[in-house]
Structure 1
Amino acid sequence: MANLLRVLMVAEKPSIALSIASVLSHGQMSTRRGSTEVHEFDGMFRGFKAHYRVTSVIGHVFSVDFPEKYQNWATIDPQDLFDAPIIKKESNPKAHICRHLSNEARGCSYMVLWLDCDREGENICFEVIESTGFDMKDSKRKVYRARFSSVTEKDISKAMDNLVEPNRDEALAVDARQEIDLKVGVAFSRFQTSYFQGKYQNLDCRVISYGPCQTPTLGFCVQRYMHINTFKPEKFWALRPYIRKDGYELQLEWERRRLFDLEAATVFQKLVVEGRTAKVMDVSEKQEVKGRPAGLNTVNLLKVASSALGFGPQTAMHLAERLYTQGFISYPRTESTAYPSSFDFTDTLRAQVSNPVWGGYVQRLLSDGFHMPKSGTDAGDHPPITPMRAATEVMVGGDAWRLYQYVCQHFLGTVSPNCKYIRTKVELSIGGETFHCTGQRVTEKGFTAIMPWSAVDEKKLPSFLKGERIEVLRVELYEGNTAPPDYLTESELISLMEKHGIGTDASIAVHINNIGERNYVQVQSGRKMVPTALGITLIRGYQCIDPDLCLPDIRSFIEQQITLVAKGQADHSHVVQHVIQQFRRKFSYFVQQIEHMDALFEAQFSPLADSGRALSKCGKCLRYMKHITAVPPRLFCGTCEEVYYLPQKGTVKVKPFRHLNP
């Protein structure tokens, strides 16, 4: 081994490290325990004999935080956090990942980084470089980056043959976002929490948090709630004539659709009733095409998981990541819906031939010739989410199977023919008013055969001849009311976040999960996002003081600036400084105007002095304090106006006082 090159390889998760080592060693390796497992084997590296060590981290090695001096809420003014330094500290000190990486890097001349191929992965690359003592400028200890989209043998081997350098600009973009989110989020959250939790008892939230992404996400939900609550329904009327043709009873659609004037609607009803017969004015047929889908990206996967499979975004991402690490699907975090020109569709299809559900469909695609997917968007990150090898429900488990099944069916849909159908429209005249009826007949199912939920609804129509007259059976005057939209669904919320640039494919699920965990919204039947009293009051408060704080515009601008950093077109420190200055001014104004938000809280929540039950005496004034059981549990002294927080877990009991015997 003394004459062999020593190569350290680091993956983002232990399962990925095992897959890489298994492929490159052809299964001939030894494994030993460390903070994470280390797989060792001999092989070739860039034309030379080498000894490999393959290990992993467990996500980010470091997290950003404030120094200890700034951790004390009582002594630090939240406004000072905007100018505070930040430090990077080990994310999971008990795992000893830094020490583990440093030990494994000893004696190694080369390091190959197999972190996930997105900005976060690029950032972790440089965390690993720092932990191992490697230096990008050191020509004697070279660092390489492997770029891959799945953990199949083909993709791993291809990545190994095309190693590149880590991208520092993308890593700096993540640093910028982390610093901005930390300073802005913690400053606002500390101030709000300290101000309101000492005044009101039934907030039912331990931390009243603010987040540059989280709060606009909540804002979308509250905006819909306000629309529903302020909506004023209006009555409308519509004519609905009925005819019978060849045994079919058909309701005709009015070209005017509906009127908001009863008197006018009644006049038209009388004209139509007096018309008695419907004359066929035109019969037209048109060939329509429903196009097959583009490739599947993260946002569309999350939307389908919520609307069709009943999974929240966070659950969907956990399941997708598990399928990816097991090698069943490609990397699930991607903005692209376009496949690269080099993508091997034939091999991907062949891997699904043995599937008992859609294997026959796949075989027909291979025999008859599959279609190339329609052009989508190439975001320059990863190909669309694609099945990489065959799986069964027993292999992956119930919920993961349902997600895998959708990924497979969507992929098969992308290489299937378009759906074709004939749309028939019949226009009729009754009493001078125009009506119509339509029918649809599918001529080629195409991709809807494998994606039946996308199928065209067929509606049969009898035969009509231009000029013929048909007796009108009856004419109804339908009365209805305009209705408000429903609460936002998770799927609709994801669409709004994508449209307005709130979050990324990697973080959208986290932001939606956060507003639920913080009791700002509740997910109700149909995965509808219903804001709570706390969520509504917060957003209304921001709107009173500074609407920008809950609108998507600022965050969208920040994301654009961060993208410029990632592309090397903007300086990381200048972007951070500019954004922090903006929010420092907004924070100062917010503090000055907090009474406007407080007035809304006072109208919605109970003051501490009016709630709770007497429990224990205050150490200062010896008056009884009240026990507040809402989250977080606390004791409140109405005389001193002091609040004492209690442990979240456990039971508060009053111990009876006993006199000591003399």
Structure 2
Amino acid sequence: MRVLCVAEKPSISKSISQILSGGRFTTNETRSKYIKNYEFDYPQTNSFFTVTCVTGHLTGSDFPETHRKWNSCDAFDLFDAPVETHIASDKKAIEENLLTQARRADTLMIWTDCDREGEHIGLEIVRVCKRAKRNIVVKRARFSAIIAQQIHHAAQHPVELDRAQADAVEARIMLDLKVGAAFTRMQTMILQNHFAQLADGKNVVSYGPCQFPTLGFVVQKWNLVKSFVSEPFWFIYLALTSSAGEETPFNWKRGHLFDEDVAVSLYDFVLSDPLARVIKVTKKGTKKWKPLPLTTVELQKAGSRLLRLAPKKVLDIAEKLYQQGFLSYPRTETDQFDPQFDFQSLIQKQTVDPAWGDFATSLTQNGFSAPRKGKNNDKAHPPIHPTAHAGNLAGDDKKVYEFITRRFLACCSKDAEGFQTIVDVECGGEFFSATGLIVLERNYLIVYPYDKWVGHELPDFEEGQEFQPSVCELREGKTSKPSLLTEADLVTLMDKNGIGTDATIAQHIQTIIDRDYVIEKIEGNTKYLIPSKLGIGLIEGYNQMGLNKSLSKPQLRRETERSMVQVCEGQKTKGDMLEETIEQYKEMFIIARREFPKVVSRTTLS
């Protein structure tokens, strides 16, 4: 039996061939300089394998000539315009190779990435190959990491291609094309009449169903910061200084008050009887929980916050390390490992590392503790984890690999353990408390320096003990201005509100930066996102239109993402999802075009 295996990328096809053939394969060139065909016998299934690949999506979608040019039709007509799907001009050599190889094959086995997008690319491959051989048997190889065990299992136990997931992607592609093109064309052509910077037709004021809610989050936070007015507040500060000169502060149970007269009155009561009395001493063991297994969203947030790397940069690096066989598939919503997961073999591979090898060794010697279970499981991929030791990485690649590896080892360790003391005191009718901590066992913190847990020991207090506070003052403070939005903050907001997927969030953030709707501002070691004048004008203009479902807020896109999930689960057809969603956007478009002068009045190009 001849089997044609098609991967999503050249590096994956080569890795699959090396694993399945044991390094004994022949290599044949193709007309594409990026693509090679690898051939070998695979006796495990009594087959002869040809392994090749594509380079991502084969096809592109666009309107026919009757609608493609900006002045060829009214922008509204694009919602109902036909869409043509064709092999991209730069993929013709890849198409030719697939057609040639499919004619010789009995079975087509899809080896694309095991996510929604991968299912769609797989369907594109199937459509090309069936043009060469209509009755070719189609199978799907499922794997999460480029490691021998998984690759052999995928080759020997193929499944069916998930057409529903592919349909969901096709619906999203058509929807984004129609909605994006209609709104982009409308708003650009109107703004061209008002701003010289757009008159040459080279600059486009683009709209995207995910892009605008993403920009909306940035503008919303900017307005919150800009409109912030600091308010004074007052609080009672109580402290005891030991003979060694160490001060133990006690926190006022009321926190702070915004009414100065009330604060002064309460403070006078305290001063009238300033002797403090210990009313309760609580001593108990406490823990600092080890981190949950790593998801794509958490990787993006950590990459921005801890590694100072843009979310897209982090994902690009993780993708490259996955293709090189060092990491599992980096696009996953799952934060719980399967109970049968082989932790020990993966931990063993890390024992040779000079930085964390000793810690990995300790885990193999009765130090292992099962990872915590999160609440998410996409039923497709395990949490992100290292699959091999990578000792020769440098720069940002090393930073990303090190974080993922330390996170995995921390997940397999024990929670940090400590001993906490809480002392509650009463002074002048007001109540205060102090908290102390002794760190007993650092455990996972030894290998995971990204978390901090610092001990603070309290003096020995006993219930009923009385003491004269060293400090008893009424102090004034001011409310702090909220910070600007960071990339990590934005990733969190997008994930929470269903804008994009774990794999596309980073690209949407990059898009609003590339469009000059958002400017990156670096203060110290932190990168903040600030909307440009154009970005502010667009969002505030749309917000003034009184739309039932604002185009700059997440509700409409969140509903679209839910509809895509329903298509994936077979609860809704691709056609139904498109019809319902496009009708919603049509209504929004009619109102938006009528009310667009509000955007014009708010928009000032810099």
| TM-score interval (norm. to shorter) | over 0.9
Considering only aligned residues, what root-mean-square deviation do their CA atoms show, in Å? Answer: 1.9
**In 1, distance between residues paired with 2:290 and 2:433?**
29
Q: Partner letter of residue 213 of structure 1?
A: C
Pick aligned residue for 2:188 from 166, 171, 193:
193
Structure 1: tracts of 5 or more residues without a match? 606-629, 631-662
3-state DSSP of counterpart to 1:320: helix
CA deviation string 1:301-358 (max 9, x = no partner): 0000000001111111110100000000000000111112331111111111111111
Pick aligned residue for 2:101 from 88, 100, 104:
104
Q: How many residues align?
A: 595
User: What is the match of residue 11 of structure 2?
Assistant: 15
User: What is the match of residue 163 of structure 1?
Assistant: 158
User: What is the match of residue 389 of structure 2?
Assistant: 390
Pick aligned residue for 1:72 from 56, 69, 74:
69
**In 2, distance between residues paired with 1:596 and 1:40?**
59
User: What is the match of residue 121 of structure 2?
Assistant: 124
Over 3 Å counting, the alpha-carbon distance change for 1:155 and 1:94 in structure 2 is: closer
CA deviation string 1:526-573 (max 9, x = no partner): 122111111111111111112521111111111111111111221111
Over 3 Å counting, the alpha-carbon distance change for 1:262 and 1:349 in structure 2 is: same
User: What is the match of residue 252 of structure 1?
Assistant: 250
Kindly state the Cα deviation for residue 245 of structure 1 after the two structures are TM-superposed: 2.7
1:33 lines up with 2:29 in the alignment:
yes
**In 1, distance between residues paired with 2:396 and 2:149?**
28
**In 1, distance between residues paired with 2:299 and 2:198?**
34
Q: Partner letter of residue 25 of structure 2?
A: M
Over 3 Å counting, the alpha-carbon distance change for 1:47 and 1:332 in structure 2 is: closer
3-state DSSP of counterpart to 1:495: helix
User: What is the match of residue 425 of structure 1?
Assistant: 422
Say which is worse superposed, 111-120 or 262-271, in terms of deviation: 262-271
What percent of counterpart residues are identical? 36
3-state DSSP of counterpart to 1:435: strand
**In 1, distance between residues paired with 2:435 and 2:458?**
7
**In 1, distance between residues paired with 2:43 and 2:584?**
50
Matches within 5 A, 1:245-644: 245-247=242-244, 248-376=246-374, 377-392=376-391, 395-525=392-522, 526-545=526-545, 546=547, 548-601=550-603, 604-605=604-605
**In 2, distance between residues paired with 1:240 and 1:103?**
80
Kindly state the Cα deviation for residue 271 of structure 1 after the two structures are TM-superposed: 2.9
Say which is worse superposed, 39-48 or 99-108, in terms of deviation: 39-48
Over 3 Å counting, the alpha-carbon distance change for 1:317 and 1:91 in structure 2 is: farther
**In 2, distance between residues paired with 1:201 and 1:412?**
57
8 A Cα contact 1:297 1:337, kept in partner: yes
**In 2, distance between residues paired with 1:57 and 1:281?**
72
Larger radius of gyration: 1
Kindly state the Cα deviation for residue 203 of structure 1 after the two structures are TM-superposed: 7.5
Say which is worse superposed, 25-34 or 406-415, in terms of deviation: 25-34
CA deviation string 1:596-617 (max 9, x = no partner): 222222xx35xxxxxxxxxxxx
- Name the TM-score, length of structure 2 as normaliser: 0.95
Q: Which runs of 4+ in 1 moved over 6 A?
A: none
CA deviation string 1:35-57 (max 9, x = no partner): 14334333136743x33221110
**In 2, distance between residues paired with 1:114 and 1:335?**
20
Structure 2: tracts of 5 or more residues without a match? none
Q: Partner letter of residue 565 of structure 1?
A: V
**In 1, distance between residues paired with 2:67 and 2:94?**
26
3-state DSSP of counterpart to 2:544: helix
**In 2, distance between residues paired with 1:350 and 1:134?**
48
**In 2, distance between residues paired with 1:550 and 1:157?**
47
Kindly state the Cα deviation for residue 75 of structure 1 after the two structures are TM-superposed: 2.5
3-state DSSP of counterpart to 1:472: coil
3-state DSSP of counterpart to 1:452: coil
Kindly state the Cα deviation for residue 455 of structure 1 after the two structures are TM-superposed: 3.2
Say which is worse superposed, 380-389 or 339-348, in terms of deviation: 339-348
8 A Cα contact 1:129 1:135, kept in partner: no
8 A Cα contact 2:184 2:204, kept in partner: yes
Q: Partner letter of residue 176 of structure 1?
A: A
**In 2, distance between residues paired with 1:137 and 1:296?**
42
3-state DSSP of counterpart to 1:129: helix
**In 2, distance between residues paired with 1:83 and 1:542?**
24
- Name the TM-score, length of structure 1 as normaliser: 0.87
Kindly state the Cα deviation for residue 263 of structure 1 after the two structures are TM-superposed: 2.0
Q: Partner letter of residue 119 of structure 1?
A: R
**In 2, distance between residues paired with 1:328 and 1:352?**
11
**In 1, distance between residues paired with 2:592 and 2:302?**
39
**In 2, distance between residues paired with 1:560 and 1:454?**
35
8 A Cα contact 1:244 1:471, kept in partner: no
Kindly state the Cα deviation for residue 246 of structure 1 after the two structures are TM-superposed: 4.1
**In 1, distance between residues paired with 2:146 and 2:474?**
63
8 A Cα contact 2:222 2:484, kept in partner: yes
3-state DSSP of counterpart to 1:530: strand
**In 1, distance between residues paired with 2:141 and 2:550?**
41
User: What is the match of residue 624 of structure 1?
Assistant: none
Say which is worse superposed, 179-188 or 193-202, in terms of deviation: 193-202
